[in-house]
Every structure is written in structure tokens, then in C-alpha cells.
Chains A and B, each alone.
Chain A
């Protein structure tokens, strides 16, 4: 019959797999997920510039709608520093220092959560609402979804840190590196958000 397999029962044996396979998978998945994220937020970049150019009924950026640049900058800085902390933590782990990784990971986690808290505070004290024109709509949608992405990615970080605490000797540096890559990309998206929504 087959040269390659015999019909066994449905429960197969657990075959050994080299650890590099999972490491490669995580790295590739992180890059792909980063690409998907970039295209997701590209839609909002497109919406910003397109609606601004159309300026329907002069309601793109009506009087009284002002971007809260202070809190916006704070959010961006928190995310960027968090990404730096996450990146350095991953580097430490690759060099073998799991304890530093755990500390760096906790710092990144705290800063990321702080960014979300500041964002929520900003929404509650916004001088405008979603009905106040094109810019306001893009602002609400973009910042809301970005906060959602932050939250989901922080969950990812938490799993890595928690795993490291639980089995300190087995902390997966490939997983940490994959996370750090994506976290940096998300921080860059945050910078782009800041530039488009607050600077322009």
C-alpha cells in the first residue's frame, strides 16, 4: 500500500518536532499580523485624507472641534516607551537573562495599560463627539480601534510574562522576539496616528 504511512487508529503518536519550527512560525505570524494591522489602519489614514479633501458641506473640521494634543501626545509617548521596554526585554531574554525580561515585560505592560487609561480619560473629557463632523468621526473610530488593538496585544504580553513567572527556566525567547516585533509595529502605528490626528 502506502510507502509513507500505515493506516493507524485516529489517535496518532506525538512526533518530535524541532523547536525552530515553532520559533519560525511565531516570527512569520508576527510579521503577517503586523501587515494585517497596517492595512487595517491604512483604511483610517485613507478616510482622513479623503474626507479632508472632499470637505463635504464644510463639515470636515468645523469650528469648536479641537484635537486634545496634550493627552494625545501622552498616549503616544507611553506606547512608544512601552514598545522600547518590550523590545529591550526581548533582547535580554535572547541573551539568556529571563529575570530582566520579566521586569521589562511588567514595565511594558504597565505603560501600555497606562496609555489605555489615558485614552479613556481623554474620551470622557473630549470637547466634541462623534457627530461633530468628518474629523471627529475619524478621530473617534481610529482612537477607539487603536485602543482595542493595544488591549489585545497587552493580553499577548501578559501571557508571555505569566509563562515566564510560572516556569522561569523555559521562557521562550522566540515568542518574546515575535511579540516585540509586533509591539514595535503597533507603536509605529500609534506614532502615525499621533502625526495624522494631532499634528496635521
Chain B
């Protein structure tokens, strides 16, 4: 009983709910009958925003996040450690061990992505008929909006959260992240945000999709506030996560771990973190402007009040385009981390790959108006944005050539992580090529806002990032938990997912070209067959996730076959540590050799003995 009292998740949930109602009451005090609009329609955005804010504060206080700030206010000295006690309880609270935070992220993001994926299944269900089938207009739009918003918000930290948090300190030879408490904060902010997004269903949902375009987002009812609060919290979480990653990589590298020796996963994390620190604040800004428009009746995006929807579109995409590279870059990092291990070769073109990642980071700021080619904004600048968008495919190409070169004359083993990585190359190729169409303004006139554009970003974000995400899980989970995943189930998961994924989104490229707009609940009758094919494929794709879930729960909770230290024969430092690593990571800090991928006959590097490939686990 005593364990239940104190700063933990239960207290946090209780205080969060209490805080929500306190804020709700407070909001009504701020916003009394003098603001007649709010009083008469029952729509009280001010009250809801205040309720969300106080609720989040209560939630964080319940976890114990306010303890350190208060003690510092009283002048107590700074400290790094909260409790890092044993037991399952540390996963349900504030824990400053970066490895615990990594696993928290994996489970937390996993849960919310599952919900986002369920939404996608419900969307595809509706689209099996050209006219109304199951959901009314409002519910359908809310499903579309919550699916997109949840996925985007959760997957921005989808790889940095679980895997960078867990492995970047280990890969650079550090015992901790630069700011462990902030690290834990980013996770719990994200969990609070996800919960807030789900409350939109209680307030009528929201109709704008994940982009939240004004003036529709100003016209929308209270459910819209959940979107604003969710994304602002996600933005804050992103900024802090990126800041922590950058500080860690810049300052905490062990002696001998120079920039030129960083594993490419760390480089991928770094180039992503730069974008997070700089782009997420712009998102928070534009969302605060939207919130002000919805509450204080400012006119940022309202033409009749001296503002303009163009302002929203521009600011949103100034964030939005770096955002999609925040999604793509970590996947590239994982790709180039896994390929050398299973091709048994060093990365081909290491410097080229790093240049590619940093180049993508830099150039992602220069392309945003390609989302606005037919909007009427700055039409004369379209050739410039066409050029910049075409040019960003160059650093992306560096990643491809590095990946392909790594396979050259290798000794490829098709393990599950390798399969997911190879699928990344295939999927991102299609995604990238469809992007070339979209970057050409005349061609974009037909494909903008259609399912072609939707299939493009699903190919790059799901076909790229999510496949890399699963590659990372199969590669690293045995190290993180100490228990193997089942290889046969993994291969079933992969093949079903890969085939179903392409079967879902390949035809959507065609359907988009044939003229079906996005986010619509009706479509031309002759497209029903194609849509039915896509929907069934999507259901199979969803089913493949269940295979993974079964694998995960069965092997980690029930079968629990102990993982050996280095099941893959990887020469990366984390595979020279026990599974899972000790809380202090290393007894002694390693000395790093000149090549993070010391495969090949010269053996330069950490000096691993050749490893005998493991026998197949019996279960």
C-alpha cells in the first residue's frame, strides 16, 4: 500500500484528473458571462485549454517532476539522480536511467501507434463503399484527423525516443544522457499529450486533418483544442528531446570517440535533433497563435480581422517540412547501422552518408512551399522551390548509394532486422520517386491533395520509418530486455507486412493519379474495386501487427528465452555489454578504434573475436 502512495503514475493520473477539473473551473471564472459567445453556446475553449494545462501540471506533479524545480528554488544543490531503484515500478514513474526511459518510450509510443493504426483500419472500412457506409461525416473526419495527428506526433520521437535514448550514450561511451531528468520529462509529456488527443472524442472530434489549416481550425468546435494542446506538448517534448540529444552527443563522447568515428545511428540522431530543436518551436508558435485566435479572438489567420490563412500555411510548413525529415532521418540512421552487421562489411562511403544526413537537415528548411504550389502563395517563387525540392533528393541519394555500396560483395544474412532494412530501401525508393513527381509543379497540379500525395508520404514515412522502427526492434530488443524475440514469427510478420504494405499503397498511387482527393468519404463509383483491394490489404497489414504483438508478448512475458550477449555478431559496442546492460553501462569506459564498423579482414576497431553464429532458439 505504501508503494502506491508517493510520486508514481497512479498519483499522476489522479492529480491530472483533479487538475483538469480545477482548470475547467478556473477557466470558467476567467471567462464569465461577459464574453457572451462562450456563455451562450456551451463552447468554452478558454476553459478547456486551462483545464488541459492545469491537468498536465497535476500529472507531472504526481510523477514527481516538480520536486526538483522546487528544491532548486529553495537553493538546494543540483543533482543528477532521482531514484533508480529496482523493480518494475521504475517503469511507471520518473526514472533518470536512460535505458528505462528508452523502454518506456517503446511501450508508450507503441500503445498510441496501435490506437492510430486502429483508426486507419476504421478509415479503410468506410472507404469500401463509394458512399456512406458506417461513419457519419463528422466521425469519419475525426478518425482521419486523429489517425494522422497521433501518428505524426508519436513517430517524430518514434526512433529517438526508444532507441536513441537507450543506445546513444552507450555508443558514445557515456554513462548517462546530458540531462536525465529532462529526458524522462520528454517521455511523460508525450504520454500526457497522447491522452489529451484521445479526449477529442469526448468533445466532438476535429475536422482538419493533422495539418490543422485555419480558418477551418478556427471554425471547429471544442474538439479542436485537443489537437492544439496535443501538438504543442509534442512540440515541447521534441524540443527538449532534441536539445538533450545534441548536448549529449556534443559533450559526453568518451575520449577517442571523435566526430569521425560516430556510428551512423548517432549521426542520424544528431541531424534529427538539430531539426527538432529549431523546427518544433515554430510549431509551438503557430499553435499558440491558433489558440489565441480561438480564445482571445485575435486575428492571426482571419482575413476579416487583418490576418490571413496564408500565414498559417507558411508557418505550419516551415515547421512541417523539417518535420518530415525528422521522421525520415532516424530511419536512415538505423538502416546504415544494421546493413554493415548483416553484410559483414564496413559502411561504404561513411563520409558521404554523413554529408547526406547533414545536407538533408540543412536543405529541409528551403523547400517548404512545395506544399503550397497551387495555393496562390508566392507563385513567382515556385521555380525556386522546385529547384530546392529537386536538390534535396541529392543528399537523400547519398544515403542510398552508401546503403547499396555496403551490400557490395558482402556476405548477406537475411535475418529479420536485415529484411526490414532491405525493405526500407525498396519502399523509400518508391516513396522518393513519387516525390519527384510531386516536386514538379505542373505534375503537382493534378497530384496535390490527392491520394497520390498520401501514398507518397506513406511510402516514405511508413515504408521508410516504420520499417526501420521494426528493424530496430528486432535488432535491439534482445539487448534491451535480455529476452529473444522469435525469429520465425518475425519473418512471418515481415513478409505479411511488406506484401500487404505495398498492396495497400501501390494502388493508391494510381488511384490518386485517377483523381481521388484525400480525406474524402465518397469517391467515383468506378474506383470501388480498387478501394476494396486497398482496404483488404490494409486489414492484412493491420493483422501483421498482431503477429508482432503476439511475438512480443509471448517471448518477453511468457517464454523468456535469455538472449546472449551478441546474437548478431555485431561489432558495435552495445553488443559487448550484457543483455540488458548494467545501470551504469560500463565498468570501464571503452577505447574506441578508428572505424565504427570494423568488419573486414583488417579487424581495426574494438577488437572483437570472431563470433560463432548462434544456434536457433528452441522456441
Interface residues of A (CB under 8 A from B): 1-15, 17, 21-22, 24-25, 28-29, 32-33, 35-37, 39-44, 46-47, 50-51, 54-57, 59-62, 130-131, 133-138, 140-141, 145, 155, 158-159, 162-167, 170, 172, 175
Contacts and interface: CB of A to CB of B under 8 A. Distances in A.
Nearest 5 pairs of A and B residues by beta carbon: A134-B306, A59-B306, A166-B75, A162-B75, A12-B584
A35 B74 CA distance: 29
A12 B582 contact: yes
B423 to A, nearest CB: 32
A4 B576 CA distance: 7
B307 interface: yes
Contacts of B578: 1-2, 5-7
B298 A131 contact: yes
B296 interface: yes
Contact of B300 (A15, A137, A165, A167): A137
A39 B296 CA distance: 24
17 contacts: A4-B590, A5-B587, A21-B251, A32-B277, A33-B243, A36-B280, A40-B282, A47-B289, A51-B306, A56-B304, A59-B304, A60-B306, A61-B306, A130-B296, A158-B73, A163-B77, A170-B77
A104 to B, nearest CB: 17
Nearest to B245: A32
A37 B318 CA distance: 16
Q: Looking at chain B, what size class is its interface with the partner chain?
A: 35 or more
Contacts of A37: 281
A100 to B, nearest CB: 18
A112 B252 CA distance: 34
Contact of B277 (A36, A56, A59, A135): A36
Given A5-B587, A21-B252, A39 B282 contact: yes
A133 to B, nearest CB: 4
B178 A29 contact: yes
A186 B179 CA distance: 22
B411 interface: no
For B284, B298, B586, the residue with the greatest tally of chain A CB atoms inside 10 Å of its CB is B298
Contacts of B239: 36
A3 B81 CA distance: 26
The residue among A47, A140, A167 with the most chain B CB atoms within 10 A of its own CB is A47
A37 to B, nearest CB: 7
Given A11-B583, A130-B297, A36 B278 contact: yes
Interface string B188-231: 00000000000000000000000000000000000000000000
Contacts of B247: 25, 28-29, 32
A114 to B, nearest CB: 20
Given A8-B582, A24-B250, A37-B281, 17 more contacts: A5-B578, A7-B578, A8-B584, A11-B84, A12-B583, A13-B584, A33-B243, A36-B280, A43-B289, A47-B311, A59-B305, A60-B306, A131-B297, A136-B306, A137-B306, A155-B73, A165-B75
